[in-house]
C-alpha cells in the first residue's frame, strides 16, 4: 500500500532521550558532520537517500543509531551535492586509513577527469 506524503514525516515510535535528530540546512556542514560521525563509528554509521515525489524533496539521512543527521532540499541544483555525498560516503566505507577521510582520492579525481568531455574544437564549414 502507498503512504500519503503527509504521513511520511511522522515517526512510528517515540524518540528516546539518546536519539538526537539534527536538521542541517548547510550542505557543507552536513557533509562535515556526517564525515565526523563516520570517522567515530564507521561500523555503525549508515545513510539513506529518500525522494518524496509529492513535494519533490530529497532527504539525506545519516545515523549511527545514537544521533541522526538530516539534510533536506527541493532544489534541483542540489542533486550534484547529493551525488557528491553518495560518492564520498561510498569512498569512506572502503578506506583503510580513516584519518585520511578528508583527503581527496587521487584515483577518483583521475576518473572524473577522464570522463570530462574533451575541449570542443571549432568545426570549420567546408
pLDDT in tens, 5-58: 654 443 434 444 456 889 999 999 999 999 999 999 999 999 999 999 999 999
Give the per-residue SS3 of the chain: CCCCHHHHCCCCCCCCCCCEEEECCCHHHHHHHHHHHHHHCCCCCEEEEEEECCCCEEEEEEECCCEEEEEEECCHHHHHHHHHHHHHHHHHHHCCCHHHCCCCCHHHHHHHHHHCCCCCCCCCCC
What whole-number distance in Å separates Cα of residue 76 and Cα of residue 51? Answer: 12
Q: What is the pTM of this model?
A: 0.67
pLDDT in tens, 96-111: 776 666 655 555 566 6
Beta-carbon count within 10 A of 40 CB: 13
pLDDT in tens, 58-95: 999 999 999 999 999 999 999 999 999 999 999 888 88
Residue 64 contacts residue 37 (beta carbons within 8 Å)? yes
37: cell is 560521525
Start-to-end Cα distance in the chain: 61
Amino acid at each position: 500500500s502507498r503512504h500519503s506524503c503527509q504521513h511520511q514525516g511522522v515517526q512510528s515510535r517515540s524518540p528516546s532521550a539518546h536519539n538526537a535528530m539534527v536538521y542541517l540546512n548547510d550542505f557543507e556542514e552536513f557533509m562535515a558532520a556526517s564525515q565526523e560521525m563516520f570517522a567515530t563509528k564507521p561500523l555503525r554509521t549508515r545513510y539513506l537517500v529518500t525522494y518524496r515525489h509529492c513535494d519533490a524533496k530529497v532527504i539525506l539521512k545519516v545515523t549511527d543509531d545514537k544521533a541522526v543527521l538530516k539534510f533536506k532540499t527541493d532544489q534541483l541544483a542540489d542533486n550534484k551535492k547529493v551525488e557528491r555525498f553518495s560518492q564520498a560516503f561510498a569512498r569512506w566505507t572502503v578506506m583503510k586509513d580513516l584519518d585520511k577521510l578528508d583527503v581527496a582520492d587521487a584515483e577518483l579525481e583521475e576518473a572524473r577527469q577522464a570522463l570530462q568531455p574533451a575541449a570542443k574544437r571549432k568545426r570549420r564549414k567546408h
